[in-house]
Amino acid sequence: MTRGRALVTGAGGFIGSHLVERLVRDGWEVRALVRYTSRAGLGDLDHLTTDVRSAIEIVHGNVEDPGAMRTVVAGCRTVFHLAALIGIPYSYTAPEQYVATNVLGTLNVLEASRTGVDRVVSVSTSEVYGTARYTPIDENHPLQAQSPYAATKIGAEKLAQSYGLAFAMPVTIVRPFNTYGPRQSARAVIPTIISQMLARDEIRLGSLTPVRDFNFVGDTVAGMIAAADAETTPGDVFNIGSGLGVTIRDVVTRCLTLAGLERRVTADAARVRPDASEVFELVCDAARARNALAWRPKYTLDDGLRQTIDWIRAHPERYRPDEYAV
């Protein structure tokens, strides 16, 4: 039996493609919004199996276009809004584009969803917290934008919350902590580590001391679906994370151990964030999601790293380990 039609914006991205796959297998009708380009590329949807791909309605468009959003939302009961520019380093050089996509794009999705939609799940990020003032971080932690990217995600959150309060729109916000897994690009640290260690004798990274809460992509999408299914108050916010904080140095050690490799690690100044922009510690308190959404992570860090290592080893063409992916 179908669970209704769901729209996934940003469906061609790393997390979006995994969400689409999970929704199809769970019995949803899925409309997948992929950013339009003249090449008509599908992004990471290309990696889905034929049976899953054939079950998806793929639409090309852009969240910055309000008319396109009205068209793509029509007939959908649930909207999972993931479309965003996400690279933090690139936000230093293209902040206007981040505002256009992340803030105005979210506004367009919300406006298009004001009638006929049962639930909007707007996907934010743990980067909205900035460096932790206390850990683990719960949803009441102050928001602090330490990059233009984080500022635009805070803006998108506040728009979503305002629509929940002003229009009683059934919108829920999820804040995933650092998601990783198969298909992720090298603009994230774990694929950067793995792709370099598999191809070179040296791993070049920025700072090794920041602490992160890494959450396997299968757990992240399960949290998003749980947020869509649960009875919540318009504007509610939920953290999605494991509660385990590890340093980047520890992740390097774990990856090398799991792969049975030895590599030297060197600092690359070009990969280091500006001092006041670096977020030094993010560790999740997901008690609210456990209690209200009945969500808990199922994958250990090592389990997820094994799957990610295997995938990157099988897809070396996706990575250029000699280049810094911004």
Which SS3 state, helix, strand or coil, does residue 78 take?
strand
Residue 78: other Cβ atoms inside 10 A: 23
> Is residue 312 in some structural domain?
no
Position 270 scores a pLDDT of 84
Position 2 scores a pLDDT of 64
Compute the distance between CA of residue 300 and CA of residue 246 in angstroms, rounded to an integer.
13
pLDDT (tens place) for every residue of the chain, 326 residues total: 568 999 999 999 999 999 999 999 999 999 999 999 888 899 999 999 999 999 999 999 999 999 999 999 999 999 999 999 998 989 999 999 999 999 999 999 999 999 999 999 999 999 999 989 999 999 999 999 999 999 999 999 999 999 999 999 999 999 999 999 999 999 899 999 999 999 999 999 999 999 999 999 999 999 999 999 999 999 999 999 999 999 999 999 999 999 999 999 998 888 887 878 788 999 999 999 999 999 999 999 999 999 999 999 999 999 999 888 77
> Is residue 274 in some structural domain?
no
Both structure tokens of 114: 């004001």
Position 59 scores a pLDDT of 98
Kindly state the DSSP code that residue 89 receives in the 8-state scheme.
H
> Is residue 9 in some structural domain?
yes
Instruction: Tell me whether the omega of the peptide bond preceding residue 136 falls within 30 degrees of 0, making it cis.
Output: yes
Q: Where are the alpha helices (DSSP H) in 263-300?
A: 287-293
> Is residue 322 in some structural domain?
no
Compute the distance between CA of residue 234 and CA of residue 24 in angstroms, rounded to an integer.
26
> Is residue 189 in some structural domain?
no
The closest of 109, 118, 115 to 68, measured between CA atoms, is 109
Count how many domains the chain has: 1
- 111 is in which domain, residue-wise? 5-181+215-240
Both structure tokens of 145: 């934008």
CATH number of the domain enclosing 121: 3.40.50.720
> Is residue 99 in some structural domain?
yes
Residue 264: other Cβ atoms inside 10 A: 9
The closest of 24, 21, 108 to 72, measured between CA atoms, is 108
What is the gyration radius of the CA atoms in the chain, in angstroms?
19
User: What letter represents residue 146's amino acid?
Assistant: Q
Position 104 scores a pLDDT of 98
> Is residue 148 in some structural domain?
yes
Q: Where are the alpha helices (DSSP H) in 74-147?
A: 88-91, 95-98, 105-112
> Is residue 192 in some structural domain?
no
